[in-house]
Amino acid sequence: MKNLRQNRGLIKTVLLIVIALVVLGFFGYNLREIADSPTVRDNLSYVWGLLTKLWDNFLAKPAAWIWNTIVIDLIWHNLQGLLGRN
Q: Using one digit for the tens of pLDDT, what is the confidence trace for 28-82?
A: 999 999 999 999 999 999 999 999 999 999 999 999 999 888 888 888 878 887 7
Contact present, 49 and 42 (Cβ < 8 Å): no
Residue 5 has pLDDT above 70, yes or no: no
Residue 2 has pLDDT above 70, yes or no: no
DSSP-based three-state secondary structure for 86: coil
Confidence (pLDDT) at 82: 79
pTM: 0.57
Contact present, 86 and 80 (Cβ < 8 Å): yes
